[in-house]
Amino acid sequence: MRKLVTFFTGLALVCMATTTVAFEPDPNDESQLSAAKAILDIKKADPGIQSFFDDAAGFAVFPSVGKAGIGIGGALGDGLVIVDDDVVGKTSLTQLTIGFQLGGQVYSEFIFFKDKTALEQFKRGNYELGAQASAVAATAGASADTNYDKGVAVFTVTGGGLMYEATVGGQKFTYEAVK
């Protein structure tokens, strides 16, 4: 009986560990706290995403991206780049879209870097994801069918709002190392 209790207690601890934030956010840094919440939200939306957190060379998290458009649209957001559970840089996202669109929404975006080469390309600054790059909406099981494309995998979690769109556009990113 004791072995059974020990087994289930250990199993429960392992399960809880996979749903926690990998890095310890600074409680005095609002951007780190927002990133930690976004990480918990995406893991709740798709528990299988843990494999991307485990296997990626690093990732960028944009906890809150605001997007709006009427014919011409755009999006803005600030985020963090995390490598080996440490914040190594700050990043920003800008997006311009043209096409049929109406509305606004807020979402979180995650960019996972497959290897150090993809991560270093992003860290050089002025990184772009073109119109052909697609983000996967994080829902239960979505990560199971997602692969890296040119060294990156992009996921989004919708936070609210309503947006109708059939657009073409791209995203541009900046990067600034944290000292």
Q: In this predicted model, what pLDDT tens digit does every residue of 45-54 receive, in sequence order?
A: 889 999 999 9
Q: What is the mean pLDDT of residues 146-156?
A: 87
Where helices occur in 1-49 by DSSP H, the ranges are 2-17, 30-45
3-state helix/strand/coil string of 157-169: EEEEEEEEEEEEE
Q: What radius of gyration do the chain's Cα atoms show?
A: 17
pTM over 0.85: no
Q: How many angstroms separate the CA atoms of 26 and 73, rounded?
A: 34
More confident residue, 10 or 162: 162
Q: How many angstroms separate the CA atoms of 153 and 129, rounded?
A: 11
Q: In this predicted model, what pLDDT tens digit does every residue of 69-124 receive, in sequence order?
A: 998 999 999 999 999 999 999 999 999 988 888 889 999 999 999 999 999 999 99
Assign 131 a pLDDT band (cuts: 50, 70, 90).
Answer: low
Q: How many angstroms separate the CA atoms of 25 and 16, rounded?
A: 18
Distance of CA 56 to the CA centre of its chain: 12
Q: How many angstroms separate the CA atoms of 60 and 158, rounded?
A: 17
Instruction: Name the nearest CA neighbour of 58 among 23, 103, 100, 96.
Output: 23
**pLDDT recorded at residue 99:** 87
Residue 6 has pLDDT above 60, yes or no: no
Which of 39-43, 122-126, 167-171 has the least mean pLDDT?
A: 167-171
Query: For 99, left (φ over 0), alpha (ψ -120 to 50), or beta?
Result: left
- Tokens, residue 47: 């528990």
